[in-house]
Amino acid sequence: MPHWNRATVASAVLAVLAFAGGITLIVTAAARDAPVIQGTAGPADPRGPVWGYLRSEVTAPAAPLEAPDSAAAGSWQVVDALAAARPVISRTEVGRYQVTFPGIGVAGGRGVALATSIGTPPDGGAYCHVTDWQAVRESADEADEAVAATAAGSGRAAPARAGERLDERLDERVALVCRDPSGAYADSRFAVLFTHAPPGRVGTGDGGPYAYLRHDGSAAAGPLDPDQYSVAGPGRVDVRRVATGRYAVDLVGAQFVRPGNNLQLNAIGGGAAGCNPLDREVLGDRQTVLVGCTDGATWADTPFALLYTDRDALLPAGAGGFAHVFTGVTTGDGPVEPAPLGDPVEAWGRYSANSAGAVNTVRRVEVGVYEVVFPGVGRGPDFLGVTAYGDATSRCSADDWAREADETGAEPTDLTATIRCVDAAGRPVDSHASVAYVSALPTGPAG
């Protein structure tokens, strides 16, 4: 079985993002019928960073569904006319889905999209990953129908621009697949996000470093095309193929010479392989992230997408809070080990953050099952990202996550998430995992 250094340094996933979306029937045409927009930057691109996420609770929708406010939140405020827009979920075949985020499309496949599966066997337990993302354009008639349906379904007034396209903006169409441990397509609940920032632009958090990249899995070495990545501030991204299925991602720049950040990683493309971060190393002018991709237990050259964030570097406007942890723990300079069975322990401080200033905890419930508690940040709508770490063959997902009840809905509460990890055969395994959470408040248009 392929195996690399099992977390000499630990990580934590994304702590990031928010967008608008959810789940209520609409009458638009299926997203796959919209024309794909190729090429690089154009006049329809968003003016600045955009984000969008959605949590799907429907495994096999019979028709395109529009997500409710409670299932997603985002930066639809890039254009006034998008204030009432909602993303749409389409199931094309068993285990294959498309999510269309209105008005935040970016030409040429730029930006990054990632997915996490939700659920436990037998109804869940699949591994979900993004296959592709592209900007699409609806016809004027389809845009009118979408605007009218959104207004009718949400009880809001239709935007004043009904009758013309939503400010000539493109939609972003994200395609994803879900498979069971055998590699067969399987319907699953999932969480999905899309984000884009022009190179050199920061998000709306505290300006901490971030980067994302999209790599084609080839053996070609050297800097990526600028359209395939974005970094905050000066810097670049280099990718080197070390061996079959193994890559070294160099985040070059002084802002990356620091520990404590978060990683989210997906294989991309239609294959059954998956990719995980294996380790990382901070050097004098860069941080190197080692990535491993396998199909089952076999190393496989595979396209992948990686999102690196530092605390709230990519938190969207109106975000209510964030938190992230690494499920491994260590004492002093000792080895990184799974959290102990039984009582919860404090998360490893080096890779743990909480916007409420509280201490996150991790508890190992049984082999391969972890309970993570993020105090004081739970509020809807919200997003959870999960990525296995340290071994290329492990796959980790979210059993579920839930907030404590708040009668007023005005104050954030504790958030509890259950994480499940399996090996290449689908058996429970004590893999390390990076877990990140962001909660968002509904926001109005920002112009």
pTM: 0.82
pLDDT band at 200 (very low <50, low <70, confident <90, very high): low
Q: Is the pLDDT of residue 333 over 90?
A: no
- Give the tokens for residue 41: 């930057």
Q: Where would I find the beta strands (DSSP E) of 198-243?
A: 210-215, 222-223, 229-231, 236-243
> What is the model's pLDDT at position 121?
63
pLDDT band at 202 (very low <50, low <70, confident <90, very high): low
Are 217 and 85 in contact by the 8 Å Cβ rule? The answer is no
> What is the model's pLDDT at position 155?
39
Under DSSP, the state recorded for 163 is: T
Three-state secondary structure call for residue 80: helix
pLDDT digits (tens, 9 = 90+) for 408-438: 556 889 999 999 999 998 999 999 999 988 8
Question: Quick one: average pLDDT of 4-10?
Answer: 37
Distance in angstroms (rounded) separating the CA atoms of residues 130 and 29? 22
pLDDT digits (tens, 9 = 90+) for 302-323: 999 998 887 765 555 456 678 8
Query: Among candidates 262, 24, 224, which has minimal Cα distance to 110?
Result: 224
pLDDT digits (tens, 9 = 90+) for 355-411: 889 999 999 999 999 999 999 988 877 889 999 999 999 999 999 998 887 655 568
- Give the tokens for residue 156: 């809001």
Q: When comparing pLDDT for 186 and 313, which is higher?
A: 186
Amino acid at 146: A
Distance in angstroms (rounded) separating the CA atoms of residues 24 and 66? 5
pLDDT band at 75 (very low <50, low <70, confident <90, very high): low
Distance in angstroms (rounded) separating the CA atoms of residues 335 and 280? 15
Distance in angstroms (rounded) separating the CA atoms of residues 98 and 173? 7
The residues, any chain, with a CB within 8 Å of residue 117's CB and separated by 6 or more, are 124, 125, 126, 127, 128, 178, 188, 189, 190, 397, 398
> What is the model's pLDDT at position 312?
65
Q: When comparing pLDDT for 81 and 291, which is higher?
A: 291
Under DSSP, the state recorded for 341 is: B
> What is the model's pLDDT at position 353?
86
Which percentage of the chain shows pLDDT scores above 90?
38
Which percentage of the chain shows pLDDT scores above 70?
70
> What is the model's pLDDT at position 419?
96
> Dmax over Cα atoms in the chain, in whole Å?
64
Average pLDDT across the chain, whole number: 77
Q: Is the pLDDT of residue 16 over 90?
A: no
Torsion of CA 307, 313, 316, 320, to 10 degrees: 120
Half-sphere exposure of 255 (CA within 13 A, CB side): 18
Q: When comparing pLDDT for 34 and 218, which is higher?
A: 218
Are 222 and 238 in contact by the 8 Å Cβ rule? The answer is yes
In the chain, % helix, strand, coil (3-state, to 5) comes to: 10, 45, 45
- Name the residue ranges covered by the structural domains of the chain: 19-196, 210-305, 321-440
Angular region, 144: left φ>0, alpha ψ -120 to 50, beta rest:
alpha
> What is the model's pLDDT at position 154?
41
Q: When comparing pLDDT for 254 and 446, which is higher?
A: 254
Query: Among candidates 444, 428, 438, which has minimal Cα distance to 120?
Result: 428
Question: Quick one: average pLDDT of 93-104?
Answer: 91
Length of the chain, in residues: 447
> What is the model's pLDDT at position 258?
84
Torsion of CA 290, 293, 299, 302, to 10 degrees: -120
Q: Is the pLDDT of residue 351 over 60?
A: yes
> What is the model's pLDDT at position 99?
94
Distance in angstroms (rounded) separating the CA atoms of residues 446 and 50? 12
- Give the tokens for residue 66: 């529009």
pLDDT digits (tens, 9 = 90+) for 122-151: 555 789 999 999 999 864 445 455 445 444
